[in-house]
Amino acid sequence: MAVLAQRNVSHSSGYRLRKVRNKVLFWAVLALFIVFACFPVYWMFITTFKEVNDLYNLQNNPLFFHLPPTLDQVRYLFEKTNFSIWVENTAEVGFVVVLITVLVCVPAAYVLARSRFPGSGGLSMGIFLTYLVPPTLLFLPLSQLVAGFGLVNSKWSLALVYPTFTIPFCTWLLMGFFKNVPKEITEAARVDGCSRLGAMFRIVLPVSVPGILTIVIFAFTLAMQEYVYALTFVSSSDEKMITLGVVTDLIRGDVFFWGSLMAGALIVSIPVAIVYNLFMDTFVRGITGGALK
Amino acid sequence: MVAEFARSRSLGLGGTGARIGHLLDGERIFGYVLVAPAVAYILLLVGYPFAIAVWFTVSNATTARPIAEFTGLTNLLAVLDDDIFRRALANTFIFTITSQALQMVLGTILAFLLLQNFRGRRIARALIMIPFTIPIAIGAMAWTWMLNPTYSVINWMGVHAGLFTEGPNWLGEEYPAMISIIIVNVWRNLPFSAVVLTAGISAVPQEILEAAHLDGANWWVRWRKVIVPIIAPILYIALLFSLVFTFTDMTVVWLMTRGNPVGETHVIASYAFQTGVVAGSLGRGATMSLFLFPVLLVGAILLLRNLKARTID
């Protein structure tokens, strides 16, 4: 201890200066990154609550309020646009997407994670690669397929199509959860005469509830923020989901209703941002397919 | 103990349940039956549409007349002859490579910052994640508003900081528009790169790094020869995703510039949307959107091969 103290003293003031300099540099660079990341959100926020006279007055410093904040733009969003219908549509379509995803993913992920059968490795790789098929590759043929199902310009076309990306993503994610349930538990149940299906329903699923809840959340938020398919399949305002509605319906001709547009943007962003921040590590694990344990 | 628990749970199985259960008891049948719905869904709504897309590329289908005749390579030749498409092809590569390079460099810096021990690290991390957590369409709209020709807050700040006297019309001129699109792509994907790199780097055993340090390896050698080889698998997968999604994204371009001025900022995906959906020419549009598929496929296979070879080591 004494030796250490002595060494500290014997360090020249140059050492301390360097330490301070490093610290200042660290915080300065970090602050730059944070400002770059957050400024657009601050800008959404301030646009949402500004009076129109303040927002479009070029004499004012745009970074601050010059008139008291107002809820006019939010009110306009709820009263003069279809915003509440978009919220309803999002809830309905999201619910169906979640239902399909869970019903399809849980059994698939279960066997791919816990059984070995001919082709199982290839199948899990195939499902993983499906997630890499981008919407921009399939929107044209899918629009024909959707027409074939009689779902032109209907929100239900989205409920049909969105599982194409929620299924691969959630299956892959769920496989990670199922792999973590010790094999011994199911083996013991099997020895005691429990069927494979019984072992799944009675032993593994009950302890995997957190995993299933996670895919419910991801399936819903992935559906909620999708844009390309929504833009392709749905054009009438009262069939739109929330993200598409906000970014298309608040532009009338050349006039952008920036205040209400940013209000809608903020309302969509906040819940999704919170969820993704809480589940960020799980999300990344889902994407990277457990390449790193 | 475990067996006890399992037995008590399995006792509740009823008659019919047990019979279905036993029918499914072969490992193979059980596996195939449970995977079947997922495979069926993907075949019907990904595989089949993909086949239609391939048919579109060699036919003259339009939205008004989806049943079409075989026209061979007409679409491909027409697309290759289209100046806007050629520009879009170049743009796609420029945007993807530039934003990927920036993300790698900035992401590494950011990852090392976030790995430091400091007060408020969790908050800093959450704030830095924000661009990745909000829907891409919303983020693109916020930037469009920030870069508005009249009310651009970025220009206001630039003018007041003395950087320029007027500021460019960001989304209305060729190069500023291209820069804007790259910035928004980097803004959006930087947090993802940083998270992946942070997760990777923190999984590198500390002892190895210390040993390298004692052997006199400087930070660059430690990074190149110790950290990168260890985190390579996760880097490859993250790179694959990042590349595919930047390569094929049309949201940013479509919302911010719609390909303007005069088609100079289109990427392949946005021009395919313009041609196939807006103009209704299914054949041409599909030819465009499938144009890069072979490149992507080969890239993906190479990356995954490499990954497999490394994880076996």
pLDDT block averages, 10 residues each, chain A of length 293: 48 81 92 94 92 83 86 89 93 96 94 86 84 84 90 93 93 87 86 85 86 90 91 92 91 84 91 85 69 44
Q: Which pLDDT score, from 0 to 100, does residue A288 have?
A: 64
The answer, yes or no, to whether residue B311 has pLDDT greater than 80, is no
The continuous run of DSSP H or E covering B68 comes out as none
Tell whether B228 is within 8 A of chain A (Cβ).
no
Q: Which pLDDT score, from 0 to 100, does residue A58 have?
A: 81
Please answer whether residues B194 and B234 qualify as being in contact, where contact means their C-beta atoms are separated by less than 8 angstroms: no
Q: Identify the DSSP state of B118.
A: -
Q: Which pLDDT score, from 0 to 100, does residue B13 have?
A: 46
pLDDT (tens digit, 9 = 90+) per residue, B269-285?
999 999 988 988 888 99
Is B129 part of any domain? yes
Is B48 part of any domain? no
CATH of the domain at B121: 1.10.3720.10
What average pLDDT score do residues B53-68 get? 83
**A255 backbone dihedrals φ, ψ, rounded to 5°:** -95, 120
Is B17 part of any domain? no
Reduced 3-state DSSP string for A247-261: HHHCEECCEECHHHH
Is B202 part of any domain? yes
Is B276 part of any domain? yes
Distance between CA atoms of residues B73 and B79, nearest Å: 10
Reduced 3-state DSSP string for B4-27: HHHHHHHCCCCHHHHHHHHHCCCH
* B5-14, B18-27, B65-74: range with highest mean pLDDT: B65-74
Chosen for mutation from A38, A57, A115, A136 (greatest number of chain B CBs closer than 10 Å) is A136
Strands A251-252 and A255-256: antiparallel
Please answer whether residues B143 and B256 qualify as being in contact, where contact means their C-beta atoms are separated by less than 8 angstroms: yes
- Using CB atoms within 10 A of its CB, is residue B192 exposed (0-12), middle (13-18) or buried (19+)? buried
Q: Which pLDDT score, from 0 to 100, does residue B5 have?
A: 45
Of B62 and B275, which is predicted with more confidence? B275
Q: Which pLDDT score, from 0 to 100, does residue A2 have?
A: 46
In three-state secondary structure terms, B311 is: helix
Of B63 and B158, which is predicted with more confidence? B158
Residues 194-213 of B with CB under 8 A from A: 195-196, 199-200, 203
Q: Which pLDDT score, from 0 to 100, does residue B256 have?
A: 92
Is B60 part of any domain? no
Domains annotated for chain A, with CATH where assigned, are: 13-70 (no CATH), 85-288 (1.10.3720.10)
Q: Which pLDDT score, from 0 to 100, does residue B246 have?
A: 86
Distance between CA atoms of residues B47 and B155, nearest Å: 47
- Using CB atoms within 10 A of its CB, is residue B37 exposed (0-12), middle (13-18) or buried (19+)? middle
Chosen for mutation from B24, B45, B154, B310 (greatest number of chain A CBs closer than 10 Å) is B45
**A134 backbone dihedrals φ, ψ, rounded to 5°:** -80, 150
Distance between CA atoms of residues A195 and B116, nearest Å: 50
Is B110 part of any domain? yes
How would residue B96 be classed by pLDDT, with cut points 50, 70 and 90?
very high
Q: Which pLDDT score, from 0 to 100, does residue B19 have?
A: 60
Q: Which pLDDT score, from 0 to 100, does residue B3 have?
A: 46
Smallest CA–CA distance, residue B251 to chain A, in Å, is: 7
Spell out the alpha helix ranges (H) of B1-135.
2-10, 15-23, 27-42, 48-57, 74-80, 83-115, 121-133
The answer, yes or no, to whether residue B116 has pLDDT greater than 60, is yes
**Longest Cα separation, chain B:** 82
Number of domains observed in the structure of chain B: 1
Average pLDDT, chain B: 85
Is B25 part of any domain? no
The residue whose two tokens read 């959404």 is: A44
Please answer whether residues B13 and A198 qualify as being in contact, where contact means their C-beta atoms are separated by less than 8 angstroms: yes
Please answer whether residues B99 and B246 qualify as being in contact, where contact means their C-beta atoms are separated by less than 8 angstroms: yes
Tell me which residue range forms the domain holding B297: 76-312
Q: Which residues contact B104 (CB under 8 A, 6 or more apart)?
A: B193
Global pTM value:
0.86
Report ipTM (2 d.p.).
0.86
What average pLDDT score do residues B19-34 get? 75
